[in-house]
Amino acid sequence: MLKKLFQYIYTGWSGIMFIIPMIIFTPFMVIPILISRRLDFITFFFIRAWVYMFGITTGIWFTGHNKKLVDTKKSHIFVINHTSFLDACAIPIAIPSTLVGLGKKELSKIPIFGWVTSRFAIWIDRSNPESRKEGSKKMKALLKGGTSVLVAPEGTRNNTDEVLLPFRYGPFRLAIESQIPITPVVIHNAAKLMKRGSLLLKPGVVHSYILPEVSVEGMTEDHLESLTQNVFKMMKNKIEELNQST
């Protein structure tokens, strides 16, 4: 009972230290990207500063591995596994590129967080085909303009005992149609610090791993299934490897 009480107190403190740095850095995160997307490197500098401050004050640290695999001079379609709300903090540390993420519309309603992240996120209603279609259209335009995008192909947070939920075709179809490579990113340990189905937190380290880029050069709709399954296997194998080593 005492342990659970401390966890509630710790989670409350972590929530406060998530919000306060966000409020402090909001002008520096939002204003540059409102002026021009070319200034998004300033936005992401302060996003990372916010995450580091959150980590220093809570003991939840984020570490990115294999960042050199990412060519920051070109566009990528990053795909991630999704197990915890902490993934939102892991992403800017894991990925050295600036990017725009695709997220479910419900997240845009979170006070402060939703307003801030709306400046570098595309919100969609996954139950609405027209909303998904519009989201895909926006991402294509961003990729064409040289901006990278990020999608969680599982479609939702994985609250099951499965390593990964089945992948949806959206990001892989986008890659084929845009001829932009897929770069898989595995986030590991986040679910241990925020257990599935719970909002309670505990301190620790969240590790993220960039996997080798998957080329889609010359691929057509006929390759959609094989591309999706290839990336699924890459990420599943990496997660299983990490699970065995911890």
* Residue 115: pLDDT over 70: no
Calculate the alpha carbon distances from 68 to 62, 86, 109, 146 in Å.
Answer: 17, 23, 35, 19
CB-based contacts of 20, cutoff 8 Å, min separation 6: none
* Residue 240: pLDDT over 70: yes
**pLDDT value of residue 147:** 86
* 3-class secondary structure, 26: helix
Mean pLDDT, rounded, for 107-134? 70
**pLDDT value of residue 165:** 95
Question: On the CB side of 179, how many CA atoms lie within 13 Å of its CA?
Answer: 4
64-73, 124-133, 182-191: range with lowest mean pLDDT: 124-133
* DSSP assignment string, 59-123: SEEEEEE-GGG--TTS--EEEE----TTHHHHHHHH--S-EEEEEEGGGGGSTTHHHHHGGGEEE
Give the Cβ contact number of residue 59 at 10 Å.
Answer: 14
* Residue 47: pLDDT over 70: yes
**pLDDT value of residue 196:** 76
CB-based contacts of 116, cutoff 8 Å, min separation 6: 22, 26, 29, 30
pLDDT tens for 179-208 read 999 999 999 999 899 987 788 999 999 999
pLDDT tens for 161-171 read 899 999 999 99
* 3-class secondary structure, 138: helix
Q: How confident is the model at residue 131 (pLDDT cuts 50, 70, 90)?
A: confident
Q: Name the strands in the sheet holding 204-210, side by side, starting at the edge strand that comes first in the sequence.
A: 60-65, 204-210, 182-188, 77-80, 148-151, 99-104, 121-124
**pLDDT value of residue 143:** 86
Phi first, then psi, for residue 70 (nearest 5°) are -95, 120
* Residue 109: pLDDT over 70: no
What mean pLDDT is reported for the chain? 89
- 136 or 24: whose pLDDT is higher? 24
Provide the β-strand partners of residue 124: 104
* Residue 107: pLDDT over 90: no
